[in-house]
Structure 1
C-alpha cells in the first residue's frame, strides 16, 4: 500500500523551513525534489510500478541510500547525505534529530538550473567542445564502472517484455498503430542481435552503468559535464551494455534535433574507447529505439502520476515515433575527404557527418587523431618528426581503414578525414567500399598554397601538427585525384559545405 506523503511535501515546500528561501517543487514519476537557496532535497514518491517499488518507507530509505552510494563518487560536488524527516516532540516535523521517522530525505547541493545540459541545449549552447567533452566523460565513467556477469541478450529481452506489457495498457495514450508496430519490430530485432549482445557481455561491455543517462541528468560544473542521478532502484536495470547506456544520451540529443552534438559525442566516446566499441554499433539502432520507447512509457506514467496526462501523452507519442524510425536504419556509405593541410577537411567533415544516414550521422575518423593514438600521445600533444615517417603514415591509414571496415560492417556510415596524398591510399579506400558493398564518394578540397599556409599558422588547440613548411612540401608533390569531386575550399566554410552538399546530392 502506498503511503500518504502530503505532510512531508508540505513541510519541504514551506519557505519557513528553509530560512525563508523560496522553494521550487519539481515532480517526476518517481520523486519529489525541493529546491531552496543553495540546497536541494529529494524524497522518493510513494509509488509502485511494474519496474520499481517505493511504496514503503524502508524501501524509500534503501533506494535513497543506494542513490547516494552510486552518485557521490562521480558527483561529490552535488551529493551530501541522507537525513530523516522526523516527528518532533511538539507534533510537527523536523529535518534531522530524534523522533519517529516520517520520510527520508537526500540532501544535495543545488546547482543552477541553467547549467543542466537539458537547459544548455534548449538555449543552443551545447557547442562542439562540450559535446566532445561529454563523450569523453561518459567513456571514462564506463571505463570505471564495475563489470557484471550476465546474459546481455536476456537483460534486453526483459526490458522488451516490460515495454510490451506496459504499452498494452497505454494504447489510448500512444495509439494502437504505433504500439502494434513496436510489438512487431522490437522482438525480431532483439533476436537478430542476441548473439552480439551475449558476446559483448562476455567481452566486458556489460557493466553497472549509469542507467539513466540523458541530458536532464548531466550538469556543467566548472566547465565540465558531471553525470548525476544514476538509476538506483533496480540493479538489474542498472546493469547494461555500455553502448545501451550511451544510446540514451545519443537518442536524447537526436530527439532534440541536435544531430551534430550527437555525432560529436558518439565520436568522442568511440575514440576514447580506442576502437573497442566499433563493432558493437550494430546494436545502436535497437538500443536507441528501446531507450526512446522507455521515454514514451515514462511520459505516460508521469502524466498519470503528476497530472497533465494529455501533454505527456503527446510527448510520449513523439518518443515512440522516434523508436520506430531508428529501428529501421538506412544503409551506410563511405565518404573520404582529402586535400592539403589547411583546406578545412575536419571542419567540413563535422558539418557533413550529421547529414549522412543512418541517424545520428556518420562516424568521423580523423587521421590526425588516430596518429596521436598510435603514438600514445594526447590529441593536442605535438609529435616529433619520427611520427611522420612513411611507415608511421602507412600505419595511420591502415588504422583508419581497419576501423572504417568494422564500422561499415556494423551498419554505420563512415567519413574518412585525411590528406589522401598517395594514390595507393586512395585506391585502398575505394577497395574498402567495394568489399563492404557500400557506396563510395570522395571530395578533394583545394585552395592556393599561401592561403593554406596562413590557415595552419593561425591554428590553435588543434590536433594537426602541420606547419607552413609541411604545406609547401605537400603542394610540391600532391596530384589531384582524377575521380574525386573537386571542391573550392578557398572561401568560407559555409561555401565549402554548400558546394560539397551539392556535389554529393545531399
Structure 2
C-alpha cells in the first residue's frame, strides 16, 4: 500500500558489520568531503558533493526483509532498474563497499563485499514538488506538466496480468486488520469506512475487472505523492518507486495517480489537482470511454485511509504524536467524504472568442462535482484531435469548415456523455453560438439525468481584442479578424445565464458561482484575483 506500511516485528541483522560501513560513509573517507546523513525506516542516505549514496538498513519488517547483504543488494538493483529509465539524471549505479587487503574500506574495487550502495546524483530539495507546493504553490503551467508527465510514465509502464478487483480487496482487507489493531486510536468512523468502501468496491467490481482486461493494471510507481516527484530541467519526474514488493507496486494506473490527487487535495490544492487530472487524460487518452472515472472516489478514499493508518502508527512513536493523530483523523474524514455521492453536473460555457471561456472553466472546474472536480472538455482541443494535430498547431480555414465544426461539436458532446455516464461532472467549453447548439448541450444533461447549468460569457469587443493580442500559446486559433467578425454576430434568444467578463476573474467567478446551487459546488479554495483571459 506504500512504503510507510506497518513496522511491526522489526529485527536487526548484521548491525555490527553495517555499523562499520555507516561510519565509513559518514566520514566521507574514500570519496572526499563531508557528508549529510538522512535516515528513513528502511534506508540511510549520505549526501556528499553532487552525489547521494544510499544503503538499505540491515532490518527485517513483517513486509520487507533486508536482513542479509544479498537481499539488500537485490532490492537496490531493483530500485535502480525501476527508476533509471524514468529518472536517468538521478540514478547512476549500484556499487559495492569492500574491505581491501589492508583492512580499510573503499567504495568499489577489489576486496570482500561488506555492503552495497546505490549511487545517485543529488538534486536540490527545493526541486521536490512537496517543497514547491509549500514554498510557492503549484501554478497552472506546472500542474499541466505534472499530469502529462505521469501519463507518459504510465504509458511506458509494463502491463501486468492481475485482477484489479482482487488487488483493491486485499488493500481494504489489510486496512481493516490494521484499523482493528489500533483500538481506540481510531474512532468509529474507521469501521464505517471499511463497511462503506467494501460496498462501493462490490458495486464497482465489474468495472474493476474490466479495467484489468483493458490493460490498465501495470507495474506502476506505487508511492506517487508530492515528495516523490522532482522537477528536473522543468520536467516533473517521478522517482523512488516502490521496489520491495512487486504486488504492492502493481495497480490500476488511475489508483497510482489517485495518491498524488489525494495529496494535493489534502493540502487544499484542489485547483492544481483538477488540472493534473485533466492534463493526465488529455495526454493518456483523448477518448474517455475507458477512463475509469467512476472508480476515482474509491481510489482517492483508500489512499486517504492509508495515510490515516500510517499517521496513527507513526504517532505512536513520534514526539509530536498528538499533532499527528489530529492529521490522521483529518485523513480519515477525507476518506469518508470521498465516498459520499456528489451531484453530477453538466456546466456548459459559451461565448465568443476572448470572453474567457477556458479561463473561467479552468478556474471553476475543481469546485464542481466529485473531487478533484469536473472534466474540462474544450472544443478547441477536440478540433485539433479530430484533424490529428497537436493542440498548439495553428489551423487554417480548412480546420473551420461547417463540416469540421459540426464534427467537433459531435465529438465534445459524445465525450460529455461518456464522462457523465461514469458519474463524473463535465464542463463543456465551446462557443455555443446559436440556439441549436445550446439546446443540444442541454439535451445531454437531460439524457444523463443530471443537473444542467448554461452560462453565456460576454465582454466588449475592445476587451476581447486586447485579450487575443496578449494570449500566449493556446489551442484556440482565434485572432483579431475572428473577434471583429463575431462582433456583429447574433447568438439568438438567450436562455442561459449572461455573465459580464469585462471585470476581474474573481468577480466573474463569483457571478458563475451564484448561478450554481450551493450544493453543487464546494468552497475549499479561495481564488486569487486576476483578469479574465
Shift of 1:88: 4.5
Structure 2 distance, partners of 1:300, 1:2, is 23
- Contact 1:29-1:302 within 8 A present in 2 as well: no
Deviations 1:3-23 (A, max 9, x none): 225444444333556523341
Using structure 1 for the length normalisation, give the TM-score.
0.94
Root-mean-square deviation (CA, aligned residues, Å) is: 2.1
SS of match in other structure, 1:103? strand
Equivalent position of 1:236 in the other structure: 247
SS of match in other structure, 1:240? strand
Structure 2 distance, partners of 1:148, 1:469, is 52
**Of residues 100, 121, 124 in structure 2, which corresponds to 1:109?**
121
Shift of 1:165: 1.9
Change (3 A) 1:312 1:399: same
- Contact 1:299-1:313 within 8 A present in 2 as well: yes
Change (3 A) 1:109 1:196: same
Structure 2 distance, partners of 1:163, 1:216, is 23
SS of match in other structure, 1:486? strand
Change (3 A) 1:305 1:487: same
**Of residues 344, 361, 375 in structure 1, which corresponds to 2:356?**
344
- Larger displacement relative to structure 2 (59-68 or 307-316): 307-316
Equivalent position of 1:198 in the other structure: 209
- Contact 2:434-2:492 within 8 A present in 1 as well: no
Is 1:20 the equivalent of 2:30? Answer: no
Structure 2 distance, partners of 1:463, 1:56, is 55
Equivalent position of 2:385 in the other structure: 373
SS of match in other structure, 2:87? coil
Equivalent position of 1:2 in the other structure: 12
**Of residues 263, 269, 275 in structure 2, which corresponds to 1:252?**
263
**Structure 1 gap segments, 5+ residues each:** none
- Contact 1:270-1:277 within 8 A present in 2 as well: no
Change (3 A) 1:453 1:219: same
Deviations 1:254-293 (A, max 9, x none): 1111111100000001111212465401000111111122
Equivalent position of 2:467 in the other structure: 455
Equivalent position of 2:65 in the other structure: 53
Equivalent position of 2:189 in the other structure: 178
**Of residues 161, 165, 171 in structure 1, which corresponds to 2:177?**
165
Is 1:425 the equivalent of 2:437? Answer: yes
Structure 2 distance, partners of 1:46, 1:303, is 24
Equivalent position of 2:525 in the other structure: none
Change (3 A) 1:201 1:227: same
SS of match in other structure, 2:455? strand
Correspondence 1:330-479 to 2 at 5 A: 330-479=342-491
SS of match in other structure, 1:235? coil
- Contact 1:12-1:34 within 8 A present in 2 as well: yes
Correspondence 1:210-289 to 2 at 5 A: 210-272=221-283, 273-276=285-288, 279-289=291-301
Change (3 A) 1:32 1:299: farther
- Contact 1:278-1:403 within 8 A present in 2 as well: no
- Larger displacement relative to structure 2 (213-222 or 178-187): 178-187
Change (3 A) 1:77 1:276: same
How many corresponding residue pairs?
A: 504
Structure 2 distance, partners of 1:444, 1:41, is 58
Change (3 A) 1:9 1:313: farther
Using structure 2 for the length normalisation, give the TM-score.
0.89
- Larger displacement relative to structure 2 (247-256 or 179-188): 179-188
Is 1:64 the equivalent of 2:64? Answer: no
- Contact 1:2-1:56 within 8 A present in 2 as well: no
- Larger displacement relative to structure 2 (364-373 or 113-122): 364-373
Structure 1 distance, partners of 2:381, 2:34, is 50
Change (3 A) 1:304 1:59: farther
- Larger displacement relative to structure 2 (258-267 or 135-144): 135-144
Change (3 A) 1:47 1:330: farther
